[in-house]
Structure 1
Amino acid sequence: MMHKRLSGLLLLCGTLLFAEPVTAPVVPHKVQENNQSIVQKQALLKEEQRKASRINDLVREKQALDKELLENNIWSKIYSNYHTYVELKKQKEHLDEQISILDNKYKRTEEEEKAFEILKSKRSIINGKLQLLKEYESDPFKKFLQPPEITDVPTVGNPLAIISAISYIKKLKTDETEYESRYESIKNVMEKLKERELILKKILQYDTNNTKYKKELLDTQDKIKTFTPVVEIFKTTQNVYTKKIDELTLNLRADIKREMEKATSIGMVILFFILFTLLIKYLVRRYMSDNDRFYTINKALNLTFVTLMLLTLLFAYIENVNYIVTILGFASAGIAIAMKDWFMSIMGWFVIIIGGAIHVGDRVKFVREGVEYVGDVVDISLLRMTIQEDITLTTYMHNRRAGRIIFVPNNFIFTDMVANYSHAGLKTVWDGIDFMITFDSNVSKASSIAKEITKKYAKGYTEITRKQLNKLRSQYSMKNTNVEPRIYTFIEPYGIKISAWYHTNAYATLTLRSTISMEIIERLQAEDDIFLAFPTQSIYIDKDVRKPLPPEEIQNDGDTLA
């Protein structure tokens, strides 16, 4: 309409400007009136052009705002769906009224019957659409107004929980930033809607009869009316949510700081225990020459350190220790039954460590179900002893195996026989060699040879044993401390048995036994009146010659009758 007016005015002005001059006589008053009219029309034309230009500028501004409101704007989409739901609901109500009117009619015409079916079909379609948009029935912005839920706030009760707390603080900050961006987006939408309302009002000032912009203005005002309480609620919720996050963040940071100070204190205590333990180990290694005792002390120090560290952590991080003790008290019976062997092995470990019957480095023999195991103890742990099997007389005569690592549970010391070859530093044992000579041999000479050779090779071990036994008299009631080699003679069915006994190294008995045995044999074989005896058997053969058969027992063919 405005463009038509502008075209008419331009056509009129052009006609006036380019019309041919009239040849009538000039009247000064009329010429003046015509000039004034032309000036007014030109002024009116300029005003219309200015309005049109202003309207075009405002329209471009509105279009730019509309584009911003439509692009990536979830709030406008939610409002659009909500508005669609409201319109569909109004249509449904109108259809319900029409259907109700037709349904209440006693008798409907054919046209009314068709209209009735069409109305019901339309209502069915609208019901389907309303079902799809049901979430917009009431409070369509609730899902976006609801802040992220704050759950599972970590409790900083140990150093490992510090990492969880820091991660949780970062999560809270991320959620707060995301929620704040939502609030800023709806504020921005609200500002743009108000700006759009203002532009539409200005356009209508220049073009008051434009129904299109009037409708857009009403729609914009309706949106502003809808979004105003949403923004107010969002602002309040956002303030509360921000304060809650700030409170949680401050509390978590305070807990982290407290826990770090606590962990630092505990770390200093543990570091002190470590340095103190290392210092004691250094002094023990430097001033103790016995490696076996150093090993035992080292194990005891390690166990003490672990125990102190566990107790420190227990009392530092478990607030109600009495509760733990009560639970363990009720559970002790079940634990003792279910873990009987482990419990007995731990008790056996205490007996071994406190009693001192077995130490690391001792040579021991265990007998289990008739099988003998001889070896050196290389480790004593809380549950078992580790033994390295060596070549000994036992392996030579019974097992025929050696070099195995044998694990002996500590509880075996309560039920099985245990022999220690090197207890209390006594690293020698008695070993014996037996040999047989005949009854007509020189027994005294053979005994003297055996005694001479055993004294020769066992002299050093004999002196060591004597010194060790003198030390043990203060600890044990020892009656027989004779350590010199002993020779015994016994009458056996096949001859005289001579048994030579001597002290030898507990860790190398076979070596000395082999050496002594070879030299005894060589010396005995060199004597003319000494003969080695061994089991013999005499066989007697009947010397009578078999007599010839009588002639009657001989057949003609030479066969012998049976």
Structure 2
Amino acid sequence: MQNIFKLLLLFLFVCTNVSAESETKESIDNATKSTELKLELKNVNKKLEKNIWITRYNNYLTYRKIEKELVQIKEDAKKYGRWKGEKYKELSYQLNNKIRIKENELEFISEYKDSPIGKQITPDAIGKVPEIKNPFSIIEALSYIQILNKNVENYNQIKLELVELVDQISHKITLSKNLYNLTKDQKLKNDLDTLTLELKNFLMVVDVVSTTQEVYGKKVRQITQEVKDAISAEIWRTSKLLIIMIVLFLLSFGIKKAVKKYVDDDDKHYSSNKLINFIFLIVIIFILLFSYIDNVSYLVTILGFASAGIAIALKDWFMSMFGWMAIMTSGAIGVGDRIKVVRDGVEIVGDVLDITLFKIAIREDITLTSYTKNRRTGRVVFVPNNYIFTDMIANYTFDGLRTVWDGIDIHITFDSNHKKAVELAKSIVQNHAKGYTDLTKKRLQKVRKKYVLRSANPEPRIFSFVEPYSIVISSWYYTNSHATLGLRSTISMEILEAFKAADDITIAYPTQTVNLGSNAQVDGEHLIPNIESTKSLFDTETRL
């Protein structure tokens, strides 16, 4: 019996030792697991501390906290406001100040009123869809599509970050539960309740973001497709316009080539090219206007109301444009023509350099006008096109004519042989003007096919007239429109030499005889001191 008791004691001792060793081992294992869990939990907390969404969530919690405090302060202020006494009056005043402070704080973080992540829960606004009405708006539309796609990417990134955050919070909850099971720490229990609420809020946010992402993505895809369709339509319309403009350009180029081939006159060729370019430009402008103006009738109405004011304010401009159209369509004046413009007593003779929409550029040459009146030449004068309606403009080279009548008057005395003088002048003029006479005959034959010419005889004409103090021999002949003075000078000198060589022809010039009496004789130079007598070969002889 005693032995059995000993054995029993021995068995109990062994079991106790084994149980103690087992408990010691379990405690060591729990401590090790607890340390590992705390370390892992610490790493998770570090990641969450740097997470922007946790920061925003903390702002949301702050908003809710301030909101609760504000409700309580308002209740206290309402309660103490009804109590009497300086103490409660001061307390009520302080509470009202706190109310204003809290309201300002809430206003500062008001974006967290309805969302744990603030305004980020709402995607960026889609904005106004651009209207594609011209090729330049295509660039704006492409930029708009790029912005929409970027907004979708940003919102998708927000969802991914929130999903990742939910996983981290779930992992933190799991770690906290395991650690609580080991340590039974009440603080961990409270943290678990907070984490559970936080996880619930973020799950709600993820659900809202997922739904919004789906709707937002569909809306963006719809708008993107509509904008792309509008871009395609505008590209097609622009392509058609480009094709039309290219066809018009090729047509104008072909017309220019035909004009160059069949029109030998360089001046007419130049004017024709300018007219073709102008018509091409006007057609292109009208095509673009009618293509890109939505309401053409509205434009016509506006122009109708504004036309009166525009016509008054820009009368000269419009008249110049109409003058240009009249010049280009009628062919009255062309580049290279020699013209004469007379306005307010001023005479300009020169060659047309260019005809623009508003002005005619004329380069003065040495002419009889510059010799007798201007005494200056070589200037480039700009004449407004509207002058053709109001002033005299003479064309010396109209419709292929390259010659004009020019005349020389020489005075001879009454006792001269005027018939001989006429014959001499006629012979000289015919000799020098023969080439221009033949050229004029050919030109006039062409002109007579288009115009009625009563007198088309280009032969030189010599006239003689009786003037008060002499006989005038007036010689008329055709000469080059661009070089009248050269032939005039040659013929004048030859007639002068021929008249001087004839014994019975005397050139008349101003003379004066003074008779003071039968016995007095005074030289003319004493009567008019310091004035030398002058003699003009082409003036009338005067005898008193």
Query: TM-score, normalization: structure 1?
Result: 0.82
- 1:109-157 CA deviation, whole Å, 9 max, x = no partner? xxxx5x9968975774575244223334731445222221222311122
Q: What are the residue-to-residue correspondences of 1:539-558 with 2, within 5 Å?
A: 539=514
Question: Are residues 242 and 27 of structure 1, via their aligned partners in 2, closer, same or farther at CA, if it must alter by over 3 Å?
Answer: same
CA shift, 1:178, in A, is 1.9
Which residue number corresponds to residue 200 of structure 1?
A: 176
Q: Secondary structure at the match of 1:188?
A: helix
Q: Whole-Å Cα distance in 1 between the matches of residues 317 and 84 of structure 2? A: 95
CA shift, 1:249, in A, is 0.7
Q: What are the residue-to-residue correspondences of 1:93-104 with 2, within 5 Å?
A: 93-94=71-72
Q: Secondary structure at the match of 1:453?
A: helix
CA shift, 1:170, in A, is 0.9
Question: Are residues 544 and 312 of structure 1, via their aligned partners in 2, closer, same or farther at CA, if it must alter by over 3 Å?
Answer: closer
Q: Whole-Å Cα distance in 2 between the matches of residues 318 and 364 of structure 1? A: 43
Q: What are the residue-to-residue correspondences of 1:78-477 with 2, within 5 Å?
A: 78-94=56-72, 121=94, 124-125=97-98, 127-134=100-107, 135-136=109-110, 138-140=113-115, 141-208=117-184, 210-318=185-293, 320-477=295-452
The 10-residue stretch of structure 1 (341-350 or 91-100) with the greater mean CA deviation from structure 2 = 91-100
Question: Are residues 457 and 125 of structure 1, via their aligned partners in 2, closer, same or farther at CA, if it must alter by over 3 Å?
Answer: same
Question: Are residues 253 and 459 of structure 1, via their aligned partners in 2, closer, same or farther at CA, if it must alter by over 3 Å?
Answer: same
Question: Are residues 373 and 53 of structure 1, via their aligned partners in 2, closer, same or farther at CA, if it must alter by over 3 Å?
Answer: same
Which residue number corresponds to residue 61 of structure 1?
A: 40
CA shift, 1:392, in A, is 1.4
CA shift, 1:421, in A, is 0.7
Question: Are residues 314 and 442 of structure 1, via their aligned partners in 2, closer, same or farther at CA, if it must alter by over 3 Å?
Answer: same
In the alignment of these two chains, the number of paired residues is: 513
CA shift, 1:418, in A, is 1.6
- Does structure 2 retain, via aligned residues, the 8 Å contact 1:376–1:388? yes
- Does structure 2 retain, via aligned residues, the 8 Å contact 1:156–1:256? yes
Q: Whole-Å Cα distance in 2 between the matches of residues 101 and 420 of structure 1? A: 107
Question: Are residues 123 and 319 of structure 1, via their aligned partners in 2, closer, same or farther at CA, if it must alter by over 3 Å?
Answer: closer
CA shift, 1:428, in A, is 0.4
Question: Are residues 447 and 126 of structure 1, via their aligned partners in 2, closer, same or farther at CA, if it must alter by over 3 Å?
Answer: same
Q: Whole-Å Cα distance in 2 between the matches of residues 443 and 271 of structure 1? A: 72
CA shift, 1:51, in A, is 1.7
Report the AA paired with residue 151 of structure 2.
D
Report the AA paired with residue 59 of structure 1.
K
- 1:50-69 CA deviation, whole Å, 9 max, x = no partner? 22222222222222222222
Q: Whole-Å Cα distance in 2 between the matches of residues 117 and 27 of structure 1? A: 85
CA shift, 1:85, in A, is 3.0
Report the AA paired with residue 356 of structure 1.
G
Report the AA paired with residue 85 of structure 1.
Y
- Does structure 2 retain, via aligned residues, the 8 Å contact 1:92–1:123? no
CA shift, 1:263, in A, is 1.7
Which residue number corresponds to residue 511 of structure 1?
A: 486
- Does structure 2 retain, via aligned residues, the 8 Å contact 1:434–1:499? yes
Structure 1 gaps, min length 5: 1-25, 546-562
Q: Whole-Å Cα distance in 2 between the matches of residues 100 and 416 of structure 1? A: 96
CA shift, 1:329, in A, is 4.1
Q: Whole-Å Cα distance in 2 between the matches of residues 154 and 312 of structure 1? A: 24
Question: Are residues 56 and 523 of structure 1, via their aligned partners in 2, closer, same or farther at CA, if it must alter by over 3 Å?
Answer: farther
Q: Whole-Å Cα distance in 2 between the matches of residues 525 and 217 of structure 1? A: 140
Structure 2 gaps, min length 5: 522-544
- 1:457-477 CA deviation, whole Å, 9 max, x = no partner? 111001111222222233333
Which residue number corresponds to residue 474 of structure 2?
A: 499
The 10-residue stretch of structure 1 (464-473 or 296-305) with the greater mean CA deviation from structure 2 = 296-305
Select the structure of larger CA radius of gyration: 1
- 1:183-240 CA deviation, whole Å, 9 max, x = no partner? 32233323322222222112111111x1222222222122223333332222222222
Out of 5, 19, 24, which is 1:40 matched to? 19
Q: Whole-Å Cα distance in 2 between the matches of residues 27 and 123 of structure 1? A: 84
Q: Secondary structure at the match of 2:172?
A: helix
Report the AA paired with residue 66 of structure 1.
N
Q: Whole-Å Cα distance in 2 between the matches of residues 161 and 97 of structure 1? A: 59
The 10-residue stretch of structure 1 (291-300 or 157-166) with the greater mean CA deviation from structure 2 = 291-300
Q: Whole-Å Cα distance in 1 between the matches of residues 84 and 294 of structure 2? A: 84
CA shift, 1:503, in A, is 0.7
Question: Are residues 424 and 240 of structure 1, via their aligned partners in 2, closer, same or farther at CA, if it must alter by over 3 Å?
Answer: same
Question: Are residues 58 and 279 of structure 1, via their aligned partners in 2, closer, same or farther at CA, if it must alter by over 3 Å?
Answer: same
Q: Whole-Å Cα distance in 2 between the matches of residues 353 and 298 of structure 1? A: 11
Q: Whole-Å Cα distance in 2 between the matches of residues 427 and 234 of structure 1? A: 89
- 1:415-457 CA deviation, whole Å, 9 max, x = no partner? 1112111112111001112233344444344333322222121
- Does structure 2 retain, via aligned residues, the 8 Å contact 1:434–1:498? yes
Q: Secondary structure at the match of 2:386?
A: helix
Q: Secondary structure at the match of 1:133?
A: helix
Question: Are residues 522 and 66 of structure 1, via their aligned partners in 2, closer, same or farther at CA, if it must alter by over 3 Å?
Answer: farther
- 1:361-386 CA deviation, whole Å, 9 max, x = no partner? 22111111111121222333333333
Q: Secondary structure at the match of 2:140?
A: helix
Report the AA paired with residue 317 of structure 2.
W
Report the AA paired with residue 450 of structure 1.
A
Q: Whole-Å Cα distance in 2 between the matches of residues 311 and 104 of structure 1? A: 81
CA shift, 1:278, in A, is 1.4
Q: Whole-Å Cα distance in 1 between the matches of residues 17 and 92 of structure 2? A: 62
Q: Whole-Å Cα distance in 2 between the matches of residues 232 and 340 of structure 1? A: 72
Q: Whole-Å Cα distance in 2 between the matches of residues 318 and 133 of structure 1? A: 52
Q: Whole-Å Cα distance in 1 between the matches of residues 94 and 466 of structure 2? A: 129
Which residue number corresponds to residue 49 of structure 2?
A: 70
Q: Whole-Å Cα distance in 2 between the matches of residues 486 and 57 of structure 1? A: 133
Q: Whole-Å Cα distance in 2 between the matches of residues 240 and 183 of structure 1? A: 14
CA shift, 1:323, in A, is 4.2
Which residue number corresponds to residue 463 of structure 2?
A: 488
Percent identity over the alignment is 41
